[in-house]
Structure 1
Amino acid sequence: MSGSGFNLGLDDASRAGVYEVAAGDLPVLAAAARDAGLLVRRLDLDGCRDKRALLLRIATVLDLPGGRGGNWDALMDALRDLEWLPAAGYVLLLDGTGPLRASLPREFDALAGVLQEASAWWAEAEVPFWAFMDGAAETTDEAP
């Protein structure tokens, strides 16, 4: 049993991906991910009014090296690298996605696609890379 009492199989890279969850589940997922030895980063997307602000918020939270993540391709490259954040696996918890989905649906879909692609890339290396988004989205799967 894990220290928090939660063992959700988050160390299984083959199950990792982008999932929608209730906002209240994010703290439980954070605890389970830490217990599984994964690096957890929480992204509060509330207030992101455009693509530039969204990418800057992600770059800041992930501590991307300078010049990385300025567009979708650069973000994808950075997410496939993460050498500055060595870990057995990664969990991104995305908060405040509702306003982003409503005001910037193309950017939201692009972000979900980049995260899914990063997860698939890491799965080939048998490293779990999860993204959990609060709320509903057509571009995500159901939670594990």
Structure 2
Amino acid sequence: MNTPSSSTLPALLADTTRAGVRPLPIGSADRLLAAATQLGYCARSIDLGACADKAALLQRMADALSFPQWFGHNWDALADCLGDLSWVPAPGYVLLLRHAADLRNRQADDFGIALDILREASQAWAEQKVPFWAFLDLAAPGDGTGL
């Protein structure tokens, strides 16, 4: 995804046919959050830096999205919560997963499972005509690539 202008971001974020899991374009985090807020979306920035394992990843997701008490801290529970989100009702959802490259480099298997769950959640929300985006910061510190 190219870095869209601030004026086109709301239209892009509202498009359920394009929503999904995407690399975070370099320098776009603040504009994405602002556009999501403008649309009334639930927008969360989740820092995965120094996220050492699955337990830490699940806890950060739970904290950022205020998962309910019944959250079981496992992959199935993450999928259930991301597919529900009734405790944070919104016309759309935008997650910015900062430092996702750190988790990918340390825990490739867990990273892959988390991506699958995010993709499934996005597809399920799209069926309800609700955009669900997960933007992944995949830039290594100082490399400037974003991929």
Normalization by structure 1: what TM-score?
0.86
Conserved in 1, the CA contact under 8 Å of 2:54 and 2:110? yes
Look up the match of 1:123.
126
Q: Is 1:113 equivalent to 2:116 in the alignment?
A: yes
C-alpha distance in structure 2 between counterparts of 1:18 and 1:130, whole Å? 6
Conserved in 1, the CA contact under 8 Å of 2:6 and 2:31? no
Look up the match of 1:140.
none
| Residue of structure 2 aligned with 1:12, choices 11, 15, 21 | 15
| Residue of structure 1 aligned with 2:77, choices 74, 77, 92 | 74
C-alpha distance in structure 2 between counterparts of 1:75 and 1:5, whole Å? 31
The runs of 4+ residues in structure 1 deviating greater than 6 Å are none
Paired positions, count: 133
Shift, 1:22, TM fit:
3.3
C-alpha distance in structure 2 between counterparts of 1:104 and 1:135, whole Å? 14
- The structure with higher relative contact order (CA 8 Å, sep 6+) is 1
SS of residue matched to 2:97: strand
Shift, 1:24, TM fit:
2.0
| Residue of structure 2 aligned with 1:133, choices 132, 136, 141 | 136
Q: Is 1:43 equivalent to 2:68 in the alignment?
A: no
Deviations 1:88-118 (A, max 9, x none): 0100001011211111001111111100000
Normalization by structure 2: what TM-score?
0.85
SS of residue matched to 2:77: helix
Structure 2 unpaired stretches of 5+: 140-147
C-alpha distance in structure 2 between counterparts of 1:18 and 1:64, whole Å? 20
CA RMSD in angstroms comes to: 1.6
